Structure 1
Amino acid sequence: MVGGKPGSPADPGPPLLAGGNPQIAKDDGDAPVQAYIEAMPGWKRAVGHRLDAIITRAVPGVRKAVRWNSPLYGVDGQGWFLGIHCFTNSIKVAFFRGTSLQPVPPGPSRSKDTRYLDIRESDLLDEARLVSWVRQASRLPGEKL
């Protein structure tokens, strides 16, 4: 990175798509996920770091990638169990087998299996519940995206 911190005038970082979602090229590994998180606007960056840390602690050896401008988390040989996406006023955490989690995450989906957790700036994150969902989700067959 030449000229400064991502998002600074010297380095504007990746462009933001509709709703402030960072445009990050498709790639595997921690580096593109960290690039996405660093490009998250405003309060979302700190929450992105916190989500990544929670997921990484809950699932040692978790596989990471960016697809369709969204970080994905998975287990080798099982597929992807969770994705993150920025919207104008929230961060959406997608549990791809969310209907199999207990309790079921609150956000409905058009997909019969997926459920969402929407995080807004003023929300208090229930970290214990999130860790439980992440661990449960990581043990289920994931999506082959």
Structure 2
Amino acid sequence: MADKTSIEATKGAAKTVKPRKTAAKSAALEPTAAAAAEPTLLSGGNPQIAKGYGDAPVQAYIAAMPGWKRDVGQRLDALIARTVPGVCKAVKWNSPLYGVEGQGWFLSTHCFTKYVKVAFFRGASLQPVPPGPSKQKEVRYLDIHEDDQFDEAQLAAWVKQASQLPGERM
């Protein structure tokens, strides 16, 4: 049986040993120009965009939305910016978020295979309440499918109401 000192020395040695990167491994970890040019689409066609604050990451997300969803993303972003001047934007958890400084995030969007989901974080307080239920008491959704003609006036009314309610922590 080994004594306590030799066991501790072995444990300590194991903690300090670091694997060395080979040139081949380092090169494999570097993004290629093609990978940088083409965003990764996650399940359902949701773009994988790095977390970031401001308009640029949101625009990168919208540009990476596949097919008809890109037009929906552009229309939603423009409607939100018109309705809430000075809106704060970010991409977190691979979803664009919209908020008001000092009040928090009030809305997010997300791509799924057959629709774009708009999440109102305090949707249960909106009038009329958006149609999509949630497992979370306050959240309500609006799902926009390819051939849907969504009511921009109603959506703008929801956005305005939502922006005036306390949101999720920024």
TM-score (norm 1): 0.92
Q: Distance in 2 between matches of 1:72 and 1:13?
A: 22
Q: What aligned pairs does 1:1-145 form with structure 2 within 5 A after superposition?
A: 12-144=37-169
Amino acid at match of 1:46: D
Q: Distance in 2 between matches of 1:28 and 1:36?
A: 12
Q: Find the residue that maps to 2:48 and give its secondary structure.
A: coil
Q: Distance in 1 between matches of 2:122 and 2:102?
A: 16
> Cα deviations across residues 46-77 of structure 1 (Å, max 9, x unaligned)?
11000000000000000000000000000001
Q: Distance in 2 between matches of 1:11 and 1:113?
A: 38
The structure in which a higher percent of residues are helix is 2
Amino acid at match of 2:118: V
Q: Find the residue that maps to 1:110 and give its secondary structure.
A: coil
Q: Find the residue that maps to 1:125 and give its secondary structure.
A: coil
Unaligned runs of at least 5 residues, structure 2? 1-33
Unaligned runs of at least 5 residues, structure 1? 1-8
Larger radius of gyration: 2
Root-mean-square deviation (CA, aligned residues, Å) is 1.3
Report deviation, 1:13: 2.0
Report deviation, 1:14: 1.1
Q: Which residue of 2 aligns with 1:3?
A: none
Q: Distance in 2 between matches of 1:11 and 1:112?
A: 39
Report deviation, 1:125: 1.1
Which of the pair has the greater relative contact order for Cα pairs under 8 Å at 6+ separation? Answer: 1
Q: Distance in 1 between matches of 2:56 and 2:103?
A: 21
Report deviation, 1:11: 6.8
Number of paired residues?
A: 137
Q: Which runs of 4+ in 1 moved over 6 A?
A: none
Amino acid at match of 2:103: Q
